Structure 1
Amino acid sequence: MKLKKLLVSFITLSIFITGCSTINRKEVVSDKAKQQQTMTKVQNDVNEIMSKDYEYVLKNMGTPYSTTYWIEKDQINNTKTIDELNHTVNVGLVYPKYTADNELEGSALYIELDKNKVIEVQTYEFSSYNEEELEDDNVALIIDKYSDDAKLDLQDIESMKLDTYKGKSTDDIYNKLNCIDPNLAAYDMVSKSKSIEVYMLRDSESNKKNSNSVLTVFINNNKINDIKIINSSVLLDIAKDYLLN
């Protein structure tokens, strides 16, 4: 898989989305200035990170804007958790460039990894694409992770009458959740009609930042087919079962 597919897949996700397992945040740099400095070094010399692994990239460049996993048809049964995908499938990381005033510059660094090693790095416009290139017959699922941070309380979601949202527009639940974007989303790339949006939940009663539960919205043709709280350990299996059947 080449970098053009990284750009294409990222934009495909942007078209799908409206606005997991319990994923542990890796050690990352917190200084935005250092992150941008590292990005500039990489843009000038890609050998800074070529052949390095996922953990190395995060440690030196910080948390990406998004992480995209492409799961091809012959890889469907190879993994059980989201974290395992770093070692078994193609992964794309997107790092937008910012100005000194912390404003989006308009370009982004796109990094592709294969089996946990950086294989290609390029700079593109942050949102440019060619609609004719939005196809890939080998990819069955695309998973996009935006954040590890839980912004919704488990207890609040448990008190909601989730069944009342079945059959309704995805906008209804999105508005109910105060327009908070999902942490993770998965997409069926065969029929292109199904998707899943996942919200990590924090357990306020036990003072844990993230619980082992996630709110999962099952979508078909922009309508909510099902919505429920599930254990994050079975998320990938449930996503594959729903999206591919």
Structure 2
Amino acid sequence: MRGTSALMLGMLLLCGCTVPSDDDVILERLCSHAGREFQDATLQLTDGEPCSRGIVVEVRSWRYGIGCVRVALETGNGRPIGSTSLRGQTQVTPAKSRGLRILLAEGQETAFRLYSESFESELCTGTPSTRLFQLVDLPNGTVQSARLDSAGTDADGDQYASIDTGGTDCDDTNADVHPDNIEKCDGVDNDCDKYVDEGFNIGVSCTSQQGAKGIVTCDPSNSTQTICATR
């Protein structure tokens, strides 16, 4: 037995063969249409190039009444790349989550925004009941996993589900706070990026029009601008 193992090892060394890593095997299965865990739907965005990375998405719902879920991928700066819908035979229900695989090629970007919109309509028409998004970093040669809960709670009615129920709304009591909002100068994290009043240079030294020294603060009468507050 030892002799056979040594012979096999020697043959591998002589031919320069390597044993593929687990990551390589997972990527190969993903790109070659193998594996039941992501067979419900495929979003192929390789533009005719070989598949070299991918995202495995699990779409879930804890309540009935979701007729259609649209899943879309954008670049990190918001440019749409592609989308697909889960409905009919791939409808998402509490009894059945759905697997979606997104395939990408080597020459594309590495930072993406993964979106989902849930509709009562089976055709993904009308106003979505919830919107979710995740930021996904996807280097070449990798497979990333993502989970989207298509029935998250949206207490403030801004169509973004609460973080506490799998969504991305960091304040589900305020409809003016959600991930796609524009940051204001008001002491609030308006766009849910964990930063407050970014881009307004709050606290930086300044000089007023009268020549007095002060610091930059939010203008209480206009949340889109700042003032130089002096003592």
Q: Same fold (TM over 0.5)?
A: no
Considering fraction of residues, name the structure with more helix: 1
Larger RCO, structure (CA 8 Å, separation 6 or more): 1
Considering fraction of residues, name the structure with more strand: 2
Larger radius of gyration: 2
